[in-house]
Amino acid sequence: MLRVRPNPTGPASPRKRMMSLAVPLVLAGTLAASALTAAATPVTQSAGSSYRTDAQGRTLIKNDGQPYLNAALPVAQRVDDLLSRMTLEEKVGQMTQAERGAVDADPSLVTTWALGALLSGGGSVPTPNTPTAWADMVDRFQSAALATRLQIPLLYGVDSVHGHGNLYGATVFPHNIGLGATRDAGLITRVEQVTAAETRATGPQWAFAPCVCVARDARWGRTYESFSEDPQLAARLGSAAIDGLQGTDVSANDRVLATAKHYAGDGDTEYGTSTTWTYKLDQGVTVTSRQDFARIDLAPYLPAVQRHDVATVMPSYSSVDWTEDGIGNPIKMHANRELITDVLKGDLAFGGFVISDWEGLHQLPGDWANQVRTAVNAGTDMFMEPFTYQDFETTLLDEVHAGRVPMARIDDAVRRILAKKFELGLFEHPYTDRTHLSEVGSAAHRAVARQAVAESQVLLKNAGGVLPLSKHAKVYVAGRNADNMGNQTGGWTLSWQGASGQHRSPGNTILDGIRQTGADVTFSADGSAPVGDADVAVVAVGETPYAEGPGDVGGPQWAYDPEDGGVPREPKSMDLQPVDRDVIDRVCGAVAKCVVLVVSGRPQVIAPAQLAKIDALVASWLPGSQGEGVADVLFGVKPFTGKLAHSWPRSADQEPINVGDRNYDPLYPYGWGLRTGR
Residue range 446-462: average pLDDT?
99
Classified as helix, coil or strand, 273 is coil
Contact, 611 vs 539, CB < 8 A?
Answer: no
Lowest average pLDDT, out of 5-9, 48-52, 261-265, 604-608, goes to 5-9
pLDDT for 49: 60
Do 367 and 499 fall within a single domain?
no
Q: How confident is the model at residue 565 (pLDDT cuts 50, 70, 90)?
A: confident
Q: What are phi and psi of 310, to 5 degrees?
A: -60, 140
Residue range 116-136: average pLDDT?
98
Q: Helices 389-401 and 23-36, interaxial angle, to 10°? A: 20
Q: Which residue has the higher pLDDT, 20 or 571?
A: 571
The CATH number of the domain where 589 resides is what? Answer: 3.40.50.1700
Q: What is the 3-state secondary structure (H, E, C) of 393-424?
A: HHHHHHHHHCCCCCHHHHHHHHHHHHHHHHHH
608, 490, 437, 445 alpha-carbon torsion, rounded to 10°: 0
- In a domain? residue 4: no
Classified as helix, coil or strand, 616 is strand
pLDDT for 6: 30
Please identify every residue annotated as catalytic.
357, 548
DSSP symbol at 148: S
Residue range 485-503: average pLDDT?
95
Do 641 and 505 fall within a single domain?
yes
Contact, 490 vs 441, CB < 8 A?
Answer: no
- In a domain? residue 98: yes
Do 203 and 347 fall within a single domain?
yes
Rg (C-alpha) for the chain, rounded Å, is: 25
Using alpha carbons only, give the angle 288, 159, 13 rounded to the nearest 5 degrees: 55
Residue range 106-117: average pLDDT?
98
Residue 249 has pLDDT above 70, yes or no: yes
Do 361 and 499 fall within a single domain?
no
Residue range 14-35: average pLDDT?
34
Residue range 23-35: average pLDDT?
32
Identify the H or E element spanning 611: helix 608-611
The CATH number of the domain where 70 resides is what? Answer: 3.20.20.300
pLDDT for 502: 77
Contact, 109 vs 401, CB < 8 A?
Answer: no
pLDDT for 231: 98
Do 265 and 238 fall within a single domain?
yes
pLDDT for 43: 57
In sequence order, which residues have a C-beta less than 8 Å from that of residue 285 and are 6 or more positions away? 269, 270, 273, 274, 318, 319, 320, 321, 330
CA 416 to chain centre: 23
Residue 411 has pLDDT above 90, yes or no: yes
pLDDT for 240: 99
Contact, 223 vs 283, CB < 8 A?
Answer: no
Type of residue at 444: A
Residue 36 has pLDDT above 50, yes or no: no
- In a domain? residue 445: no
Q: How confident is the model at residue 50 (pLDDT cuts 50, 70, 90)?
A: confident
Do 366 and 260 fall within a single domain?
yes
Residue 625 has pLDDT above 90, yes or no: yes
Do 273 and 404 fall within a single domain?
yes
Identify the H or E element spanning 203: none
pLDDT for 678: 62
Do 466 and 339 fall within a single domain?
no
pLDDT for 69: 98
The pTM (predicted TM-score) of the whole model is 0.94
Question: What does the alpha-carbon distance between residue 205 and residue 141 come to, in Å, rounded to a whole number?
Answer: 13
Q: What are phi and psi of 74, to 5 degrees?
A: -60, 150
pLDDT for 564: 85
- In a domain? residue 524: yes
Lowest average pLDDT, out of 5-9, 331-335, 467-471, goes to 5-9
Residue range 259-272: average pLDDT?
98
Contact, 599 vs 500, CB < 8 A?
Answer: no
pLDDT for 554: 97
Q: What are phi and psi of 316, to 5 degrees?
A: -85, 155
Lowest average pLDDT, out of 55-59, 231-235, 551-555, 566-570, goes to 566-570
Closest CA to 103 of 203, 39, 30: 30
Instruction: Give the DSSP per-residue string, 229-257.
Output: SSHHHHHHHHHHHHHHHH-S-TTSTT--B
Contact, 350 vs 344, CB < 8 A?
Answer: yes
pLDDT for 32: 34
**SS3 helix, strand, coil % of the chain, rounded to 5?**
35, 15, 50
Q: What confidence tens digit (pLDDT) does each residue in 499-517 have?
A: 999 788 999 999 999 999 9
Closest CA to 620 of 466, 413, 479: 479
- In a domain? residue 452: no
Would you mind telling me the total number of residues written for the chain in this entry? 678
Q: What confidence tens digit (pLDDT) does each residue in 303-326 have?
A: 999 999 999 999 999 999 999 999
Instruction: Give the DSSP per-residue string, 316-329.
Output: -S-EEEEGGG-SS-
Distance in Å from the first CA to the final CA of the chain: 67
Distances in whole angstroms, Cα of residue 109 to Cα of each of 114, 115, 134, 606: 8, 8, 19, 53
Residue range 644-664: average pLDDT?
98
Type of residue at 5: R
pLDDT for 562: 80
- In a domain? residue 451: no
Contact, 562 vs 18, CB < 8 A?
Answer: yes
Question: What does the alpha-carbon distance between residue 152 and residue 86 come to, in Å, rounded to a whole number?
Answer: 10
Question: What does the alpha-carbon distance between residue 230 and residue 670 come to, in Å, rounded to a whole number?
Answer: 9
Q: What confidence tens digit (pLDDT) does each residue in 414-427 have?
A: 999 999 999 999 99
Classified as helix, coil or strand, 575 is strand
Share of the chain above pLDDT 70, in %: 93
Residue 66 has pLDDT above 70, yes or no: yes
Q: Helices 185-201 and 231-246, interaxial angle, to 10°? A: 40
- In a domain? residue 7: no
Range of the domain at 419: 23-45+57-438
Do 434 and 464 fall within a single domain?
no
Classified as helix, coil or strand, 375 is helix
Do 504 and 570 fall within a single domain?
yes
Number of domains in the chain: 2
pLDDT for 15: 40
Residue 578 has pLDDT above 50, yes or no: yes
Q: What confidence tens digit (pLDDT) does each residue in 535-556 have?
A: 999 999 999 999 999 999 999 9
Residue range 379-405: average pLDDT?
98
Boundary (domain end) residue, out of 438, 470, 486: 438
Residue 24 has pLDDT above 70, yes or no: no
Residue 9 has pLDDT above 90, yes or no: no
Do 542 and 607 fall within a single domain?
yes
Classified as helix, coil or strand, 653 is helix
Do 535 and 394 fall within a single domain?
no
CA 363 to chain centre: 20
- In a domain? residue 337: yes
Mean pLDDT of the chain: 93
Using alpha carbons only, give the angle 226, 230, 235 rounded to the nearest 5 degrees: 70
Q: What confidence tens digit (pLDDT) does each residue in 323-336 have?
A: 999 999 999 999 99
